[in-house]
Structure 1
Amino acid sequence: MHIGFIIASWEGMEPQKSSTLAIIKECIKRGHKVSILYTTDLTVRNNVVHGLIKTIEKMDKIPESIVSFHKKVTFQKRMTALHAFDCLMIRKDPPINPLVLNFLDAIKDEVVIMNDVDGIRKANNKLYTTTFHDPNNTFLPVTHVSGSKKFINKTIDESEAEKMILKPLDASGGKGVIVLEKNAKENINSLLDFYIDEDGDKYVILQEFIEGADQGDVRVLMLNGKFIGAYNRKPAAGEIRANIQQGGTAHKYTLTESQQRICKKIGSKLVADGLYFVGVDMIGDKILEVNVLNPGGITNINRLNKLKLQREVVDFIEDKVNEKVEKRIELEYLLKRLNELRE
């Protein structure tokens, strides 16, 4: 199989932390051809979508160390039509340029794309949870999204909560997340001026502060609608954000029965939307976000539980590709029989 990965930067990867690199190495170990490409390398040649891809050259011996593997990989560059891939994984932090998805629209019927292009369109990381039906906020926190400073101010004034979370809609990795305290109301307008522009093109999320947030959150990895692993992210001293990029630390964690039920509840919708590999962020029994573009956590979960989750991911990729091939063969056979009957 030829498996491609749309990434931000090979050089910028942190080998011991990168879930993407763990999956790439597993693909190489199984003998698959692996290529990477950047969004800026997408192009159209004579109405066919191509990419300037970098294919990993065959290695005499695959290093056991992930650091050595990353360092010793060499590439062969060439322009290639993207329909030559069997599978493409989008592994780039949000936001993603909508034009990238337009490029991939041309090949989505021929190539397994993870996650599905239309699913990604639906699933802006912080808005997708609004599609879950939870009118009583049993597993979703009270959440407001707006580009209006007037609305946000009114909502804060009307809230009985002493603390709320404010964060930009289009950021990732915990960037811009702050705790709003009602007794510091005089600072809120200044903050909103920073977050929301005059043209109304920037949106913010105002969310209830969940008790226990100071103990961090839980990252749950889900594959094909089922959870495959989880870990607790605890914030650094003086921080509210538990993201690893913001200095958070990883700790072993076992999902509670109620958390398992919640994950099971949303699993079928994730699969229906083509969101096969996602990261769900939870505090207690509340879902904060569903990360669909570049969910991380494989390396931490592996280390804490002596697992190799990348094997499950590559197993799934192989199954999806084989399933697509079988459907194509079946369709070709039916078309052939139909033509024979017509003759």
Structure 2
Amino acid sequence: MSSFKDRLPPISQMGPFIALAIACAIFGMTTDNFFTGANFALILQQVMVVGVIAIGQTLVILTAGIDLSCGMVMALGSIVMTKFAVELGVPAPLAILCGIGVTAGFGLINGLLVTRIKLPPFIVTLGTMNIAFAITQLYSGAQTVSDLPPFMTALGGTFDIAGAPVAYGTVVMVLLYLGAWFWLRETASGRHVYAVGNSPEATRLVGIPTDRVLLWVYVLAGVFYGIASLLLVARTEVGDPNAGQTENLDAITAVVLGGTSLFGGRGMILGSLVGAIVVGVLRNGLTLMGVSSVYQVLITGILVIIAVTVDQLSRKGAR
């Protein structure tokens, strides 16, 4: 008979929840208004964009890649869908699809460069990050887009749960995580993502089309960035060409804090959701304490380094 200790989840799966509990405890003791339903609803509303970006980033990192372009591609998607709707008169649903199509197109470009030309994901996405930023600034004229149609901002609306205003976009984020979790856990194509990250050569030898898996992972990541674009527009009610500059680091932080290994092949998608909430709790709590945004970014960067160090040490210990 197995002991209680043997039945406990591994520490890599418990880590995100432990970090969340510690962060909540610290801010609950040091601030006055942290433990309120309204504040928790606000945190979820603030992380819904980063949370959806983190889904795409998790898929890429599971294959031992990384996508540095996610924030800027998201910003481009938001500008495309808002300008199409406001200035070109494109119906809002079609304009949204156009924005998601652009972000998926960037995912396709990333995937083709990684799989066909065999360029490192870091270099590829560093390049497309700058390309997306330049296109966003040129197309928008560095100006925000406002007066959006109601359909485009509907997900920013709220409904009450126990008196707390919960955004519809938060529900969308949770549903997307559940869908991604089911796909990765219960389908053959989802398990192929893990296999490619564990050992591309071994995966290829057993007949799994490694390049096709990688290509579709990058395209699917682009789709998630496009959905994040819509959630950003719904939350802010503008198309902002300067968006996406902190979401990149926050999404990677969420994925790493959530227990996904930067070396690929190991991680859980729901951990990224918890990681995103940890980032949101951190930002929210530090803001309530009066800590400037500069120091918040500094602390986030330190967290990434600590999480990657722990991952590296755990890999060495497993050998």
Q: TM-score, normalised by structure 2?
A: 0.25
The structure that has the greater radius of gyration is 1
More strand by share: 1
More helix by share: 2
